[in-house]
Amino acid sequence: MSGNDPILVITCPNCGAATEFSHAESAAIPKAHRDPFDRHPAFDVVTGRNCVGSTVTVASYFSPVTGPLDNIKNLPDVARSLTWSQWLHDRPAGVSDLGAFRCSACNTARRHQLSWPQDAYFQITYKDRALWARNRGEALKLLRFVESDGREKGVEYTSGQPWALFRTEDRFLRRVPTHFLRAKARREVARQLRRRLEMPDGGS
């Protein structure tokens, strides 16, 4: 896991394997420049209200599908002078869920609208409640936590900026509900986590 840019591992919608989700690279575009982006198949253009109620137009591209900006053919002239970011601050609601994946198991590369936590690959269900981790590193942390004896204090996670985009997830993972930690639940939760992680059963 690298600092405040946690990897999100999702279930490939095509084959079910674990694959990384990448947020779209987005930039605010001046209204007068919208047309070439609208016509270009590599871009997605959204106009909407930002968090302070102003109308903004944002263009996005999807590097798992197209590669870096310089790889995109017939790039609109203004594109290189814009600031592209996966974490564009000034954007309409909904743009934060836009992204793409490239699955190495089935070779599918396509756009994907993130539904979190439903998309989470490292996810288990115990008695109708779901528990998930964003990536393998976190899932391992969770497994160790579930299997350890001295776990009164809850799991600590770094709270970088991307983290704030997933507030429900934040609350959920910051303190693993006792539902998953009771003596009865532990073995089953650990078993399912290990299966997701492709690790042999621990036996404890």
Which position among 8, 9, 10, 12 is part of the footprint of Zn ion (CB under 5 A)? 12
What is the 3-class SS of the chain, one letter each residue?
Answer: CCCCCCCEEEECCCCCCEEEEEECEEEECCHHHHHHHHHCCCCEEEEEECCCCCEEEEEEECHHHHCCHHHCCCCCHHHHHCCCECCCCCCCCCHHHEEEEECCCCCCEEEEECCCCCCECEEEEECCEEEEECCHHHHHHHHHHHHCCCCCCCCCCCCCCHHHHCHHHHHHHHCCCHHHCCHHHHHHHHHHHHHHCCCCCCCC
Complex with Zn ion: residue 106 or 199, whichever CB lies closer? 106
Residue 106 touches Zn ion, criterion: CB under 5 A: yes
Quick check: 104 binds Zn ion (CB under 5 A)?
no
Q: Is 110 in the site for Zn ion (CB under 5 A)?
A: no
Q: Shortest gap between Cβ of 62 and Zn ion (angstroms)?
A: 16
Cβ closest to Zn ion, residue 14 vs residue 66: 14
Name which of 15 and 51 has its Cβ closer to Zn ion.
15
Closer by beta carbon to Zn ion, 105 or else 199 = 105
Q: Is 9 in the site for Zn ion (CB under 5 A)?
A: no
State how far the Cα of 118 lies from the Cα of 127, in Å rounded to an integer: 16
Instruction: Indicate whether 105 belongs to the interface with Zn ion (CB under 5 A).
Output: yes
In the complex with Zn ion, which residue's Cβ is closer, 14 or 86?
14
Choice from 1, 7, 14, 187 touching Zn ion (CB under 5 A): 14
In the bound complex, what is the minimum distance in angstroms from residue 19's beta carbon to Zn ion? Answer: 6
Please report how close the Cβ of residue 10 comes to Zn ion at its closest, in angstroms: 10
99: closest CA among 112, 90, 84?
112
Query: Quick check: 20 binds Zn ion (CB under 5 A)?
Result: no
Assess 103 for contact with Zn ion (CB under 5 A).
yes
Q: Residue type for 107, please?
A: N
Whether the Cβ atoms of residue 126 and residue 189 lie closer than 8 Å to each other:
yes
Binds Zn ion (CB under 5 A): choice among 4, 5, 15, 125 = 15
By rule CB under 5 A, what count of residues binds Zn ion? 7
- Which residues are near Zn ion by CB under 5 A? 12, 14-15, 17, 103, 105-106
